[in-house]
Amino acid sequence: MKAEKIRNQTDEELQHQERDLADQLFKLKFQLNMGQTESLKKIRGLRKDIARVKTILGERERAAAVKK
């Protein structure tokens, strides 16, 4: 997922997306531990997507704090 696409979403959408990505990551890690999958690329990609979403949310929070 591209950062530009993430920046075009609202805060509520980003929070919802963060929860969805975290849930997907949990499921993949569980499957990996059970030996059902070996999709390390997907896990790595999800972790990076979660980090992008959190970074943009943090940037918005800091920008709002500066405006006040």
Residue 49 belongs to domain spanning: 3-67
Instruction: Determine the pLDDT at residue 37.
Output: 80
Whichever domain contains 56, its CATH number is 1.10.287.310
* Mean pLDDT value across residues 44-49: 96
Residue 26 clears pLDDT 80, i.e. is over it: yes
Structurally, how many domains does the chain consist of?
1
* Mean pLDDT value across residues 34-41: 87
Phi, psi of 15 (to 5 degrees): -65, -40
DSSP-assigned states of every residue in 7-60: HTS-HHHHHHHHHHHHHHHHHHHHHHHHTS---HHHHHHHHHHHHHHHHHHHHH
Instruction: Determine the pLDDT at residue 14.
Output: 95
Identify which has the larger pLDDT, 38 or 14: 14
Distance of CA 57 to the CA centre of its chain: 10
The pTM of this model reads: 0.88
